[in-house]
A and B are shown apart, each in its own frame.
Chain A
Amino acid sequence: MKRLRLLLLALVASVALGWASPASAWYYRYVYNAIWAPGSIAGSPWNRITYNAVSFSNCCGGTPQMGTTLQRTDGSAYPYLCSNSGSIFDSRTIAYGQAICIANVGNGYKVYISFCDTGNT
């Protein structure tokens, strides 16, 4: 019975800490080791965000381009920041929003995504 209480306490504590995490430093890898067709898109969980980063490379031809943005709760978003250099570090911030990374629709070929990361560290 005592063990069960301790387990429940630990569970409540971990949930509380997880819930409280938006206030503390937060990091999230929302895409990892993926091959994307042109126009593919992914978004992170909602939070306060201070950066959005992507690392990608040419796996399948062409010169792939990627874009990053931050989306607001009303569905609007900042303009995309794009590059074909193999990485983007988007340093724009948002008080509460979602990080997005996208494979440019005009790529013509699939692209290898090493990761899409976001956080507020």
Chain B
Amino acid sequence: MNVARRKPLIAITAFVVVAAATVSVLAGLSQAGETRARAPQPYLRHPEYARKALLLAKAAGIEVTPAVRAAARVQAAHPRMLWRGASARFSVLGGAAAPSQLPPEVRRFAAFVASTTHLSRDTALARVRLLRSTVGSARGSLYALEGGTGAPCFILTHYGGTCGVAGSTQPAWVIGGGGQDGNPAVLVGLAPDDVTAVTLTVDGRSVAVSLDHNVVFAQFPTGAGFARVATTHMDGTTTTEQLSLTGS
């Protein structure tokens, strides 16, 4: 085959390859758009589940304590649906970058997480991810890691951190702090994918809260007395926590 005959063949092959790639990319994009637009479908209704679980437990001869019976009654009265794809997951932990260096306070926090969640210190350090930098007026950095039990743990530098309960649908947060170097008080936490909004009221005044890729953050002046944190979930239910910020 001479060169003159090869040229059209190469051009046709190249055209087919480019066309196929374009079609597949467009198909992928339309599928992704469809996934985002589609409303989540409920797949588990707690009232049914609670009743069935109680019946099964009784049939199996398992003792149903008053507390379990009360919990089942609460679930039946206020149905809380789990949504397909929604859970106590923290998507941000999967995609965040591993920092090249860790400040001393983050290394100490990793040691704390290691000791309280049964991890080796090296594993805890290796799991640390940088979620945000220059957060708030104190320009802190937010680091997170998954504890040994799967607990979501985080620390905001210049303030501190905590570990949530593994599998809980409630956010893990700390509130208050500040004071050092004139830093304001904060609400900082990690909210599961299931959480759609967090609101904060401090001494009766609403404080703006950001919820972005599982990270909850707000700041307010130090010296506040009382705070109320309300968490709204994908199924529309809201849980509220109230606490004193002065300890007294």
Contacts and interface: CB of A to CB of B under 8 A. Distances in A.
Interface of A: 39, 41, 50-51, 53, 55, 63, 65, 67-69, 78-93, 102, 104-106, 121
Given A55-B116, A83-B173, A91-B157, A105 B244 contact: yes
Contact of B247 (A83, A85, A102, A121): A102
A63 B241 contact: yes
Q: Helix, strand, loop or mixed for chain B's interface?
A: mixed
Given A78-B177, A89-B162, A53 B245 contact: no
Given A65-B243, A78-B178, A91-B161, A85 B105 contact: no
A106 B179 CA distance: 23
12 contacts: A41-B247, A50-B105, A51-B105, A67-B247, A79-B223, A79-B245, A80-B177, A83-B162, A86-B162, A92-B158, A105-B247, A106-B243
Interface residues of B, number: 36
Contacts of A104: 243-244, 247
B176 A82 contact: yes
A89 B160 CA distance: 5
A28 B78 CA distance: 46
A105 B175 contact: no
A41 B245 CA distance: 14
B176 A67 contact: yes
B160 A90 contact: yes
Contacts of B155: 89, 91
Contacts, number: 112
Given A50-B105, A63-B241, A88 B178 contact: no
B238 to A, nearest CB: 15
A87 B105 CA distance: 16
B108 interface: yes
Interface of B: 104-105, 108-109, 112, 116, 155, 157-165, 172-180, 185, 222-223, 241-248
Nearest to B163: A87
B164 A91 contact: no
A57 to B, nearest CB: 9
A121 B111 CA distance: 11
B162 A87 contact: yes
Contacts of A50: 104-105, 108
Contacts of A80: 176-177, 245-247
Nearest to A41: B247
Given A79-B179, A92-B179, A53 B112 contact: yes
Contacts of B159: 81, 90-92
Contacts of A53: 112
Given A79-B179, A92-B177, 6 more contacts: A51-B105, A53-B112, A86-B162, A88-B162, A89-B112, A104-B244
